[in-house]
Structure 1
Amino acid sequence: MHELGIIIQIVKTVERFAEENGVTNIDTLVLQIGELSSVIPKYVEDCYPAAVDGTLLQDTKLEIEILPGNCICHKCDKVFNLIQHNKQCPDCRSQDWELLSGRELLIKEIIAY
């Protein structure tokens, strides 16, 4: 489970940001995880309490938003969800596409109070 290491690095990044910007109380951390990334949201949720224990984020809530795995068809320019359409354009049935989103792992928002 590499998610614990990833979350520990995110916590360090958020703490560094908070220190540089004078933020002392954080209520919520919002992450965006692409549905095609190698990071499993459930595992992130499970290891979050251990990763934030004893840190500035100890009492924070974690929110995760899933970003869709969207791509664009090179033949007809249709944008579609890769998973929902089984890697095939729903309009022209082409499998010649380019990935637009879905592999991200982003710190979207740090909500302070």
Structure 2
Amino acid sequence: MSLFDKFRKNSEPTEYVEAWKVIVSGTVQGVGFRYSVATLADAMSIPGTVKNNPDGTVTIVLQANKGKVDEFLKDLPHNLSPFAKITNMKVEKLENVGKLHSFRVLY
């Protein structure tokens, strides 16, 4: 038995939580959109991530129940930087996502 096997057997299984991916399009890059998302997520105590995509969209991952995600998405357009504008949001449930503890802006 190697040292790594010993730790693997003693480690706790990963805790999976409900998570949602939101692809947002519009004027969402270069206008403070990711920081608006992070500020709202922090205010609502929702862990997750936000990152720019090469195609000009932004991906948001939220770990919360569907009701809280719906509330976040309803509030988001009212909490944007003044230069950002959302034209579309596509939401899908993610499977087997390990628990996050905070919200992070990814680069």
TM-score bracket relative to the smaller structure: 0.3 to 0.5
Structure with the bigger RCO (C-alpha within 8 Å, sep 6+) is 2
Larger radius of gyration: 1
Query: Relative to total residues, which structure has the larger helix share, 1 or 2?
Result: 2
